[in-house]
């Protein structure tokens, strides 16, 4: 599931072929009963098919009624088939991803360490929870576990798609390993934490292929509404038949079935399951595993987002932000000596100093200093630098270390140095003092830098009504500075694990849904408390088990995109429901006049589309009702295009596009179909 896969074809020929076969398998009533709306359509198809052979069974009379019943039954069959096809395509994409994951699950052997320290090679399927195994260079990790000894690089590309190996070691937040990944250096002793068949990879496969998918609360509520509407219209149609007979209007049973199918919300009924499956599929293709459809849906309802500062909002490394000259030194000289002292400094701080210096116009030839003696930073000296060939010694380091060095060399400490150092420290930054021999030139301000683009993304979240809260262990002054730069709505300074839980509970007590990210064992309680908990795959087993989503790329900022995917799922479902109910209006104007016009000529005024004959009107509405389902499959699968905006504007936009469009499109579509089939109706001499 790499980036390459994320950009793969929307639907492949293999998926289409398998979906076509599955469409017929799903016709079994035992399966169809799970979708009551489409089950009613299938029952209507069976009755119409029966009447194709026995047209007078219910006492119906009419010219060529057998042909008419056959055409109605064929259209209804295609309608059910298209609905099954939509769901099968969504499932097919998930199964294709599952097959890729299954390739990583081989007949792996495990080196089991017994109580006496002896190694016994067994099949990985025979491992039990709590067993200790040894994995060495080239070995496949047999099952999920925690590193208890050793340090090694692990290739997780089979799971995450990332080619760079990840360092795993005992203790901390990088002790968790996943079955199916490969050790590419050194060795590890692992305590197995999952029984065979219940590993993280097994859960991923089951979830991705849809085997473990359950309907979400919103989906259940909408399904209940659709069933209620279906029952109401079913009662209407059943009572309409005797009432019509009493009024002297003879309505063929197939026509009543056609009216029922066009009245009930078959469009959304046929697409509802596909929308839910596609929502989980979009999250999975984004390299996030959702433990349930409810988790994805909850993302769309999130009101508050709790975010760690380090690694999520900031890079976590203190990078050069500013050069501050002191005494009589000038900016140009300070930048020059700062860059020279950092040319061979491979730390993130050193590289950032060179980068910032270059941005500010420093023109330093690296080759001129390539062979000179670089002084590395040590805990004892607390400084680093370089010795030039002409006896000039450039050093950068802590305030105390540089001050003492300059004093020992007989230099003078600039009067404004201490004030600059204190100011940088009070802002939560790290002051690096730069000196050349016995003269101090200034201070390099290192700070934990906010990741680029986050300000715009937080603004985007604010536009859709989501509040962001930053959690950090920094002091209040530093926290306030970072919060202001990042553009978050609030922050919790000097934050402890229990403070995160309290923050989540406080928001939830106000009726809000909360999302947060985490990777450590100390994050597990908060991840469990949050409505949406996104754990990092590189994190601990405890964090992954507590969360309801796992990010395979271990990118904490991904929670922002996941929330937008959840929003898109809800918007897509709402938009297609609006379209489905709206397009029924056009079907009413097509079928109802067609049914009653013969007995009640005044009903002709409702034939606003000027459809040719009653039979062509009914068949046109049925055909449109069938073909609109596959035409909407791409929208159901890809989702309605999402733009951050206020909820009322979003509602207005979707009502205009899918509400008005749901009325206009069927009017045009039914009229075109009527024009196309009118010659056929005439040839068959229907009506």
- By annotation, the residues acting in catalysis are 308
| C-alpha to C-alpha distance for 81 and 58, rounded to whole angstroms | 27
d(CA 416, CA 343): 28
Query: What is the SS3 assignment for 249?
Result: coil
Distances (CA, A) of 32 to 37, 137, 672: 9, 51, 31
Q: How far apart are CA 471 and CA 644, in angstroms?
A: 25
CA distance 388 to 374: 9
Residue with tokens 């402890």: 496
230 to each of 257, 260, 476, 614, 624, how far by Cα in Å? 12, 8, 58, 24, 19
671 is in an annotated binding site: no
Q: Residue 383, annotated ligand binder?
A: yes
Q: Is 86 annotated as a binding residue?
A: no
Q: Which of 549, 545, 574 is nearest to 562 (CA)?
A: 549
3-state helix vs strand vs coil in the chain, percent to 5: 55, 15, 30
Cα–Cα distance for residue pair 348/310, rounded to 1 Å: 15
Contact 467, 489 (CB under 8 A): yes
Q: Is 191 annotated as a binding residue?
A: no
Count of beta carbons in the 10 Å neighbourhood of residue 35: 23
CB 368 within 8 A of CB 336: no
DSSP E strands, 278-419: 288-290, 304-308, 314-325, 373-375, 383-387, 393-397
SS3 252: coil
Q: Do residues 445 and 422 make contact, with C-beta atoms less than 8 angstroms apart?
A: no
Rounded Cα distance, 251 and 239, in Å? 12
The string over 340-371, giving b where at least 16 C-beta atoms fall within 10 Å of a residue's C-beta and e elsewhere, is bbbbbbeeebbbbbbebbeeeebeeeeeebee
Cα–Cα distance for residue pair 210/94, rounded to 1 Å: 7
DSSP notation for 421-441: HHHHHHTT-EEEEEEETTEEE
Q: Is 483 among the annotated ligand-binding positions?
A: no
Q: What does the alpha-carbon distance between residue 571 and residue 638 come to, in Å, rounded to a whole number? A: 12
Please tell me whether 379 is known to bind a ligand: yes
Kindly state the tokens that stand for 468.
């962001």
Contact 296, 569 (CB under 8 A): yes
Residue 380 annotated as part of some ligand binding site: yes
Q: Report in angstroms the alpha-carbon separations of 295 from 92, 157, 301, 448, 567.
A: 21, 25, 10, 32, 12
Q: Is 557 annotated as a binding residue?
A: no
d(CA 173, CA 533): 17
Which residue's entry shows tokens 């399951």? 273
The answer to whether 476 and 427 are in contact (CB under 8 A) is no
Q: Is 519 annotated as a binding residue?
A: yes
Closest CA to 458 of 438, 483, 481, 439: 483
* Binding residue positions for Mg(2+): 519, 523
- Binding positions are 345, 349, 377-384, 396, 519, 523
Which positions make up the binding site for ATP?
A: 345, 349, 377-384, 396
């Amino acid at each position: 599931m790499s980036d390459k896969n994320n950009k793969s074809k929307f639907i492949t020929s293999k998926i289409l072929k398998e979906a076509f076969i599955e469409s017929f398998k799903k016709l079994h009533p035992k399966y169809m009963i799970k979708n009551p709306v489409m089950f009613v359509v299938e029952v209507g198809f069976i009755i119409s098919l029966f009447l194709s052979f026995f047209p007078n069974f219910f006492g119906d009379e009419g010219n060529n009624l057998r042909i008419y019943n056959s055409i109605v039954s064929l259209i209804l069959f295609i309608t059910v088939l298209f609905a099954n096809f939509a769901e099968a395509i969504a499932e097919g994409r998930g199964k294709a991803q599952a097959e890729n994951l299954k390739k990583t699950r081989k007949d792996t052997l495990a080196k089991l360490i017994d109580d006496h320290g002896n190694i016994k090679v067994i099949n990985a399927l025979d491992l039990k929870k709590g067993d200790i195994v040894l994995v060495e260079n080239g070995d496949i990790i047999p099952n999920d576990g925690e590193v208890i000894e050793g340090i090694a690089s692990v290739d997780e590309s089979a799971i995450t798609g990332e080619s760079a190996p990840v360092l795993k070691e005992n203790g901390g937040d990088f002790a968790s390993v996943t079955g199916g990944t490969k050790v590419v250096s050194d060795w590890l002793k692992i305590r197995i934490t999952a029984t065979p068949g219940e590993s993280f990879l097994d859960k991923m496969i089951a979830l991705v292929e849809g085997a473990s998918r359950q309907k979400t609360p919103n989906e259940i509520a909408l399904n209940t509404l659709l069933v209620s509407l279906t029952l109401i219209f079913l009662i209407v149609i059943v009572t309409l038949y005797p009432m019509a007979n009493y009024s002297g209007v003879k309505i063929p049973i197939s026509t009543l079935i056609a009216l029922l199918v066009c009245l009930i919300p078959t469009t959304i009924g046929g697409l509802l399951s596909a929308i839910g499956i596609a929502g989980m599929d979009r999250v999975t293709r984004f390299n996030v595993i959702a433990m349930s459809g409810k988790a994805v849906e909850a993302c769309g309802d999130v009101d508050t987002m709790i975010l760690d500062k380090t690694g999520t909002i900031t890079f976590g490394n203190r990078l050069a932000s500013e050069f501050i000259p002191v005494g009589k030194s000038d900016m140009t000289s300070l930048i020059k000596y700062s860059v020279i002292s950092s040319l061979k400094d491979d730390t993130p701080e050193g590289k950032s100093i060179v980068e910032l210096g270059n941005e500010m116009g420093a023109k330093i030839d690296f080759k001129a200093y390539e062979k000179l003696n670089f002084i590395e930073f040590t805990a004892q000296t607390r400084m680093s630098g370089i010795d030039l060939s002409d006896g000039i010694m450039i050093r950068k380091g802590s305030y105390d270390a540089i001050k003492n060095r300059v004093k020992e060399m007989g230099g003078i400490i600039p009067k404004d140095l201490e004030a600059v150092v204190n100011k940088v420290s009070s802002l939560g930054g790290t002051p690096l003092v730069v000196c050349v021999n016995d003269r101090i030139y200034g201070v390099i301000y290192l700070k934990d830098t906010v990741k680029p683009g986050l300000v715009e993304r937080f603004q985007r979240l604010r536009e859709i009504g989501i509040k962001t809260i930053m959690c950090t262990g920094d002091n209040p002054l530093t926290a306030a500075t970072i919060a202001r730069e990042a553009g978050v709505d609030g922050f919790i300074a000097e934050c402890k694990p229990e403070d995160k839980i309290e923050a989540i509970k406080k928001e939830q007590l106000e009726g809000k849904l909360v999302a947060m990210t985490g990777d450590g064992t100390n994050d597990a309680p908060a991840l469990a408390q949050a409505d949406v908990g996104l754990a990092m795959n590189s994190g601990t087993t405890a964090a992954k088990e507590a969360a309801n989503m796992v990010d395979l790329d271990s990118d904490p900022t991904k929670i922002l995109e996941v929330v937008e995917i959840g929003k898109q799922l809800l918007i897509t479902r709402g938009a297609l429901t609006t379209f489905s109910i709206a397009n029924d209006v056009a079907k009413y104007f097509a079928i109802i006049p067609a049914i009653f016009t013969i007995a009640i000529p005044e009903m002709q005024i409702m034939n606003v589309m000027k459809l040719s004959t009653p039979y062509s009107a009914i068949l046109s509405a049925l055909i449109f009702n069938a073909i609109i389902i596959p035409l909407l499959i791409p929208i159901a699968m890809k989702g309605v295009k999402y733009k951050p905006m206020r909820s009322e504007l979003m509602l207005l936009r979707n009502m205009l596009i899918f509400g008005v469009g749901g009325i206009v499109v069927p009017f045009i579509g039914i009229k075109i179909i009527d024009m196309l089939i009118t010659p056929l109706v005439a040839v068959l001499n229907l009506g």
